Structure 1
Amino acid sequence: MKKALFAMAAVVLVTTTACSSGGDKSTNTSAPSATQNGQAVTTVSILAKDFAPDDPNVQKLVKGIEDGMKAEGKNVKLQITPVQSGTYSEKMGLLLQSGNIPDLIYFQGGDYQFATTQKILEDLTPYIDKSKYVKASMNPYNIERMKNYPYLLWLSPVSSAIPVVRQDLMDKTASGKAALENPTIDNYYTFFKELKEKSGAKYAYTTAGNLDELDAMFGQAFGLTTTWLKGTDGKFTFGKTTQSEKEKLEFYAKMYKEGLLDPEFLTKKWDTKEKAFYDGQAAIMAGTQGKVIDLYNSKSTAQNGAGAKVVPLPPAKGKGQGYTPVDTSKESRGFAISKTSKNKDMAFAVLEYMASPKGQMMDKLGFEGSEYQVVDNKIKLTDKFAAWYPHFVESVISFTPDKEFDPTTPYFSEPAAKSLKLFESNSTKDNTFIMPADLTAKWDAATAVYKEFAADIVTGKKTGADFDKFVQAWNAAGGKDVTDYANKTIK
């Protein structure tokens, strides 16, 4: 299922046209907590990752939200709920378990028990249905996820890995152009070999600790078009236990043996992966479409010159074509509103304001005179912009700044915009589902069996001849029970 809307707005961002701003004028039914200049003030408590009370940028953003909403008739005071340092999802969970439940809560995992077991998260569907700006900022996958799990709202592009190659290294090959024009598995293999032989890179592709970023390019080409594949008998089988997976892993093993895959791919972290790319040891790595690709491009050109800009690569084509299928069972992160909140309407009004043109300008760009300047009636980003990032709305579907960007400082570089456009035309929906609590341990055990086998076959410790034994072990670890559930659940 091909998806539109994602990149179209991003490509236009370099030359966006003006758009008027407005706010949600719905009546505030929240309980006022104070008065300010004769106006009722509603305090909305907020808990969010990277939203520290002592962060100057956060302080500036909070004041901007309060001032902006007040100008539109909603007098709100944001009260930041601090969270202890450490793993955010764990510390946040402990805070909520203690009974300290803010009005507006950002989750990054750990939300399921609060939504389905403790039932303390509000169904956001009625709020979204009445909204103007939140609704306009949702992509088709956001909409699908909200239907399946209406407790988390995350106005962001899908977090999908897109492979990129350094332009300067690709230019040293004769096969790069053919791979871009006709990205078959064989053409990519030829391209990888030439990158290793002629570009100066030690290996073609690097990943951070697993095969997921390699699967983004090759998974669907080997027939792994969804997590659960439907057989001729009408039953679903876990894709990673099928012949398609065996063929894919054998191809990866070939890459590894011939030095085309980073020999340290299992131990690489995100920072060492990126360093290998910027230093020219690896020619290709994958990163999230949009802003991450933008970051890769700026770092690569800063270290190696303008010729080292990154070039987003299309997914390989074969039995299928597409990047990693998109999980639409639920948002993996996002904002929730507490069922116990007395300020639900105002809490959502904050999200609605941040999705408005004025809110998105502030959330994405910061403030005029600091993170950007207006020069010759164009938005020119400053050095301070590098330390600013959106907290509420990463999506650019409805991002329409009131002025064009200076061409020397676009919001998205050309490679970043292209990565969004490639994802738009090569994204497909997955058939994953929310794992029930009684199967979670079995699923984790079966997944561990797969990861160990995949690593062993790619590094040559095992071969395709061991695949049937792996499938048996996967089923015994809990995979069979999960498969039975999948066949009852997937429509």
Structure 2
Amino acid sequence: MRKSLLALLSLILVFGILAACSNKDEKNQGDKDNGGATTIRVVMKDDNSSNPVSEKYYDAIEKGLLEDENIKVNFELVDLPQGNYSEKLNLLLNSGDIPDMIYFQGGDQAMADQGLLEDLRPYIKESKYLKDIIQPFNEKRLENYPYLLWVKPLAPKVPVIRADWFNQMETSKTLMENPTVDNYYAFFKELVEKQPGGDKPKYAITVAGDIAEIDYMFDMAFGINKTWLQKEDGSYEYARVSSQQKEKLEFYNKLYKEGLLDPQYLTKQWDTKEKAFFDGDAGIIPGTAGKVIDIYDGKMVQVSGEEASLVTLPPAKGEYQGFGATDVTKESRGIAISANSENKELVFKILDYMASPEGQMIDRFGFEGEHYNAVDGKLQLTDKYYSEWFSRFWEPADYTPVTPVDETTPLLSESAEKSLQSAVEFYEEDNSFIIPEEYVANWDAMQNLYLEFTTDIITGKRPISDFDKFVKEWNEAGGEQITKLANKNLR
């Protein structure tokens, strides 16, 4: 009896082990081959598993991949907690949870330095579609830093104003013909004093949290056309500690003191900045060229009518003119592939598919019946398309959809098209370089020092005469070493 019991227990144990192994194999097979589809884990800033639009969008890509490329995938969207995307993403990655496809908006370099991101250049070279749509600045960035890809048009921050207010102002024509700093000041002044919206706007321009967005408008006019400015003796100095920067900060302080710059700009986030614009509290808002300007235009027309469609304003003109120099050291944001993914080739095939005519149809136009309707062989875009849809992946500079867009509902509004044209017209390449790892901590401290000082100057907490003190502090915080490095790299 005892022997029979032991034999029975042994048999149960064997079956248990076999069952566990079988379940483990099934789980592994299920992870890899979910109903014949390979699971690809994706983390993207604006998509999550609880968003029905996100789920529908990735379902459409799954269907397209299967029908057009005979690729079976199952997307699993990785959710992040609310808050700063870059910070939350880094917490996820540092925990060891690294999805197959990752959208970065900062924080990627530490991962690349650890060898955790895949070099994309060999894949692009052998691609079917992507190799034909990347721009020269994308190529330069990939050569310098081959881990991120972001095929989008040049996208500086471009200022816009509603047309009904713009058309009421006496200084508008002069500004457009000759957008000097003085003429911009006069335009701002009239906008607030005349208040073409009745009792609005309350201030001329709003930005989100710091002066980066307004710098796009004014940097080059004040002579800041590169990150590193060449002095008369041929040496280079950092633009933010230059005399040109000092002169620009005096101008910003003037705008703030006279109530032309949003007095709450420091506490503004992107959503409250936009609310101030659509509510009419701010007359001008800088927005990312292209689709963001298009969304702004659509929302403003919805809120205030067709006469309030947006006018794109030019960059200020002075020593130079433009929306700032374009950094070609690396993509500041973009999509990466995990070097540890078991499905790297498949992930890239997905990225390549999104550059195909079929992939672009999904990515650029959204859902039929919601964002567009097919009428007489043409796509008619809806109000919902203009107010909410955006491309998650690629936006080639030269794009002709397979099905043409109806002329009455263009892909981009006039102001959005103008913003992209301005970006190309005023393109200038920067001379910045990737800061070596051993200097990154110092560089971050120096940037924080810069932000703190500029805030104090603009808001009047410190006099402009303290600029020399700031330069001294900046050099002591590591600026002197990095300036030497810059002169070594740039000569």
Partner of 2:250: 250
- Residues 95, 455 of structure 1: alpha-carbon distance in 2 compared, 3 angstrom cutoff: closer
Please, which moves more after superposition, 409-418 or 449-458? 449-458
What are the equivalent positions in structure 2 for 1:143-292 lying under 5 Å apart?
143-200=139-196, 201-292=201-292
- Residues 167, 370 of structure 1: alpha-carbon distance in 2 compared, 3 angstrom cutoff: closer
Partner of 1:468: 468
Distance in 1 separating the partners of 2:34 and 2:475:
62
Aligned pair 1:389/2:386, yes or no?
Answer: no
- Residues 111, 190 of structure 1: alpha-carbon distance in 2 compared, 3 angstrom cutoff: same
Query: What amino acid maps onto 1:253 in structure 2?
Result: N
Shift of 1:63: 3.0
Partner of 2:90: 93
Distance in 1 separating the partners of 2:342 and 2:460:
59
Shift of 1:228: 1.0
Distance in 2 separating the partners of 1:66 and 1:202:
48
Aligned pair 1:60/2:44, yes or no?
Answer: no
Partner of 1:104: 101
Contact map agreement 1:178 1:187 (CA 8 A) in 2: yes
Identity %: 49
Distance in 2 separating the partners of 1:80 and 1:113:
25
- Residues 266, 341 of structure 1: alpha-carbon distance in 2 compared, 3 angstrom cutoff: closer
Distance in 2 separating the partners of 1:97 and 1:452:
29
Contact map agreement 1:123 1:150 (CA 8 A) in 2: yes
**Higher fraction of helix:** 2
Query: What amino acid maps onto 2:141 in structure 1?
Result: R
What are the equivalent positions in structure 2 for 1:302-313 lying under 5 Å apart?
302-313=302-313
TM-score by length of 2: 0.86
Distance in 1 separating the partners of 2:247 and 2:87:
39
Secondary structure of 2:103's counterpart equals strand
Q: Deviations over 1:267-296 (max 9, x none)?
A: 333233223322333221211001111122
Contact map agreement 2:117 2:337 (CA 8 A) in 1: yes
Q: Deviations over 1:413-469 (max 9, x none)?
A: 111111111111012222222222322222222222222222222233333322212
Distance in 1 separating the partners of 2:366 and 2:266:
38
Q: Deviations over 1:155-175 (max 9, x none)?
A: 223341101122222222222
- Residues 302, 376 of structure 1: alpha-carbon distance in 2 compared, 3 angstrom cutoff: same
Distance in 2 separating the partners of 1:347 and 1:275:
38
Distance in 2 separating the partners of 1:140 and 1:226:
19
Q: Deviations over 1:201-248 (max 9, x none)?
A: 333222222112221111101100011111122221111111111111
Query: What amino acid maps onto 2:76 in structure 1?
Result: I
Distance in 1 separating the partners of 2:473 and 2:260:
30
Distance in 1 separating the partners of 2:186 and 2:115:
54
Secondary structure of 1:355's counterpart equals coil
Distance in 1 separating the partners of 2:70 and 2:488:
47
Query: What amino acid maps onto 2:476 in structure 1?
Result: A
Contact map agreement 2:134 2:396 (CA 8 A) in 1: no
Contact map agreement 1:290 1:416 (CA 8 A) in 2: yes
Please, which moves more after superposition, 186-195 or 146-155? 186-195
- Residues 382, 47 of structure 1: alpha-carbon distance in 2 compared, 3 angstrom cutoff: same
Note the residue ranges of structure 1 that are not aligned, 5 or more in a row.
1-31
Distance in 2 separating the partners of 1:489 and 1:276:
43
- Residues 122, 476 of structure 1: alpha-carbon distance in 2 compared, 3 angstrom cutoff: same
Shift of 1:78: 2.8
- Residues 417, 73 of structure 1: alpha-carbon distance in 2 compared, 3 angstrom cutoff: closer
Distance in 1 separating the partners of 2:40 and 2:323:
40
TM-score by length of 1: 0.86
Contact map agreement 1:405 1:411 (CA 8 A) in 2: yes
- Residues 307, 481 of structure 1: alpha-carbon distance in 2 compared, 3 angstrom cutoff: same
Structure showing greater radius of gyration is: 2
- Residues 384, 268 of structure 1: alpha-carbon distance in 2 compared, 3 angstrom cutoff: closer
Partner of 1:456: 456
Shift of 1:310: 1.4
Contact map agreement 1:136 1:398 (CA 8 A) in 2: no
Distance in 2 separating the partners of 1:329 and 1:111:
14
Contact map agreement 1:301 1:309 (CA 8 A) in 2: yes
Contact map agreement 1:141 1:158 (CA 8 A) in 2: no
Distance in 1 separating the partners of 2:209 and 2:42:
34
Aligned pair 1:75/2:84, yes or no?
Answer: no
Please, which moves more after superposition, 45-54 or 351-360? 45-54
Contact map agreement 1:165 1:285 (CA 8 A) in 2: yes
- Residues 455, 76 of structure 1: alpha-carbon distance in 2 compared, 3 angstrom cutoff: same
- Residues 53, 206 of structure 1: alpha-carbon distance in 2 compared, 3 angstrom cutoff: closer
